[in-house]
Amino acid sequence: MRLLRPSWAGLVRGRHHQHHRRFLLTTSRGSNGEREEQQQHSKWSTPGSRSEQLLYAAIWAGGLSLGYHWLTDKNNHVLLEGQKVPSEEELEATARLWHVTTRKELPTYRADQVEQHNCAEKRVWVTYGLGVYDVTDFAENHPGGDKILMAAGSAIDPFWAIYQQHNTLEVLELLEGFRIGNLEGQVVTNAEDELGSPWSQEPQRHALLKPASKRPFNAEPPIGLLADQFYTPNDLFYVRNHLPVPVINPADYELEIEGGVKEKTLTLEEVKALPKHSVTAAIMCGGNRRSEMTKIKAVKGLSWGAGAVGNAKWSGARLCDVLREQGVQPDETKHVIFEGADLDPTSHPYGASIPLAKALDPRGDVILAYEMNDEPLSRDHGFPIRVIVPGTVGARNVKWLTRIVVADKESDSHWQQNDYKGFSPSTDWDTVDFSKSDAIQAMPVTSAICTPQPGARVKVDDNEGHITVRGYAWSGGGRKIVRVDLTNDEGVSWHVAELEQEEMPDGRHYGWSLWTARLPVSEAQRKAGDVEIWAKAVDSAYNVQPEKFEHIWNLRGVLANAYHKVKVKIV
């Protein structure tokens, strides 16, 4: 298959670029020790003891493993008394210069010397800009195991080009703590500006999409707009990219299919020539509403609001038709692996899998979609083909689909094996064992209040003393929403919302439900001025949302489906 993919080959091989800021600073520092250095230049002290630093190291290492996510845990910095308190932004801007700054007190190494240090026995060295770092201690504490060794003996720049959320104060600070030298002959330029940058061909996005991260691009629409339309407009549909958006020429596109009695390659036109099937399905990120869960205790991941979900009509060929044509037989032990055209720096594609039983079930409605709300897929949504797995967590709805494999095992991708899984609230990064937990497939029941928004000033209907509340509700596995209950008095009284939903049989009810409720506001509440509204949904298996996040907290902040609670002001 000939795809025009963003290239980082030069970055990986050459290690002669740095990508992420335009500045090229050569200001040197004094020679009286690293800690003092930093205080002089950045006007703040490195917080914490060595053990705290190691904790951050673990977080950083986890951040590398799970690197396409924000590190949402923030640290309070200890500042020297009497000094001007710099802002977080100022501190971070300074920290971003360190790795492009020669430290004269440290020795200089050639690239081939760094390359020798590519395993724990010889120490693990990496370079970043013109800095040389010994991260052996990180590697040992690395929750993701060997992942960190991908950069051993070479540059982390290309990885961080993808996983830009490493560019936080905490991570930069940590890294500089492991600095052991300067890289010889390093010319620092801005890789962003180069044609070959993996980010140089990102599509234009709607101005209203609010990014949770820019590279990779992850963004949600304003939640206040979300319940306005049953079908979410394509350009306001949340975007969840794990890697740079590939550039695919539809004429060159090929979809490889392995499994069954024969292998096959389909062109886009051949997929379109198959019987066309449409399904209304909400797609929801496993981390939707993470920003609420992280308030209980910090979690790792993009800080999504309640907008990492959208509802669309998807059209394309049925996967079950394609697999049956291939001669694939039902086998409940098997899986179907999907691979995208989006590649990580080691040229591994994004990948995920679902059970073969779901793929073959005509009621499963898995389709090779080339249309979203009757328009061709946009690049951000998987052009030319995205597999839509209705009722299943967004991560399995692989975009830029280029390969389908019927296999004995689940996808061995990072995202199937070491991410998108649930854990007990007491499981932490020291005790987590991803192999012990099941990959998320169907999602649990959830709901959210879209209007009014938190802090809104809400007018009470004069005639009847009510306020109007609107939102969405959805459950995975095709389970219909059967009821949404609202309260504005902490559950003393519940009010059943009116539902707007597609008429589909249960088990195949993949679209979301919008709902509207009118809640009475008491005289006392009007006087108090503040009201907290709670929403909870019930699905056709009569599963309900849990009341609060405390007991469903998990270290990755997924499955955040507790009651949605919104405080508003009554006027």
Contact residues for a second copy, defined by CB under 8 A: 332-333, 355, 357-358, 363, 422, 424-427, 437-438, 440-445, 475-477, 479-480, 482-483, 485, 491, 493-496, 505-508, 536, 538, 540-548, 550-552, 559
Q: Output the CA–CA distances (angstroms, integers) from residue 450 to 39, 225, 494, 541, 567, in the order listed.
A: 45, 7, 18, 25, 12
The distance of closest approach from Cβ of residue 475 to a second copy in the complex, given in angstroms and rounded to an integer, is: 8
The distance of closest approach from Cβ of residue 424 to a second copy in the complex, given in angstroms and rounded to an integer, is: 5
CB nearer a second copy, residue 118 or residue 329: 329
CB nearer a second copy, residue 268 or residue 359: 359
The distance of closest approach from Cβ of residue 560 to a second copy in the complex, given in angstroms and rounded to an integer, is: 11
CB nearer a second copy, residue 298 or residue 357: 357
3 state SS for 325-362: HCCCCCCCCCEEEEEEEEECCCCCEEEEEEEHHHHHCH
The distance of closest approach from Cβ of residue 364 to a second copy in the complex, given in angstroms and rounded to an integer, is: 10
- The candidate with the shortest Cα–Cα distance to 63, out of 174, 154, 217, is 174
CB nearer a second copy, residue 54 or residue 298: 298
Q: Are 489 and 467 in contact (CB under 8 A)?
A: no
Q: Are 468 and 461 in contact (CB under 8 A)?
A: yes
Unique residue bearing structure tokens 């499994």: 259
CB nearer a second copy, residue 310 or residue 476: 476
> Please, where are the H alpha helices in 15-145?
34-42, 50-65, 88-95, 111-116, 136-140
Which amino acid, 140?
E
User: What six digits make up the tokens of 118?
Assistant: 């590519």
Q: Are 237 and 229 in contact (CB under 8 A)?
A: no
CB nearer a second copy, residue 10 or residue 507: 507
Annotated active-site residue in 142, 277, 379, 386: 142
285 annotated active-site? yes
The distance of closest approach from Cβ of residue 411 to a second copy in the complex, given in angstroms and rounded to an integer, is: 16
Which amino acid, 460?
V
Q: Are 252 and 246 in contact (CB under 8 A)?
A: no
The distance of closest approach from Cβ of residue 497 to a second copy in the complex, given in angstroms and rounded to an integer, is: 10
Annotated active-site residue in 285, 379, 508, 510: 285
Annotated active-site residue in 68, 133, 163, 420: 420
User: What six digits make up the tokens of 387?
Assistant: 């597999």
The distance of closest approach from Cβ of residue 239 to a second copy in the complex, given in angstroms and rounded to an integer, is: 24
Q: Are 245 and 217 in contact (CB under 8 A)?
A: yes
The secondary structure of residue 554, as a DSSP letter, is -
Task: Please give the helix or strand (H or E) that residue 293 lies within, else none.
Answer: helix 290-293
Which amino acid, 442?
A
Which amino acid, 42?
S
The secondary structure of residue 190, as a DSSP letter, is B
The distance of closest approach from Cβ of residue 320 to a second copy in the complex, given in angstroms and rounded to an integer, is: 14
Q: CA 460, CA 328: separation in Å to the nearest integer?
A: 59
Q: Are 499 and 484 in contact (CB under 8 A)?
A: yes
Q: CA 330, CA 407: separation in Å to the nearest integer?
A: 12
CB nearer a second copy, residue 358 or residue 564: 358
Q: CA 483, CA 495: separation in Å to the nearest integer?
A: 10
Unique residue bearing structure tokens 């009014």: 452
Q: What is the dihedral of CA 20, 25, 27, 33, to 10 degrees?
A: 10
CB nearer a second copy, residue 151 or residue 360: 360
CB nearer a second copy, residue 121 or residue 408: 408
166 annotated active-site? yes
Annotated active-site residue in 117, 166, 289, 508: 166
Other residues' Cβ atoms within 10 Å of the Cβ of residue 192: 17
The distance of closest approach from Cβ of residue 48 to a second copy in the complex, given in angstroms and rounded to an integer, is: 25
Annotated active-site residue in 240, 277, 396, 414: 240
Other residues' Cβ atoms within 10 Å of the Cβ of residue 459: 11
- The candidate with the shortest Cα–Cα distance to 535, out of 482, 495, 480, is 495
142 annotated active-site? yes
Residues labelled as active-site residues: 142, 166, 240, 285, 420
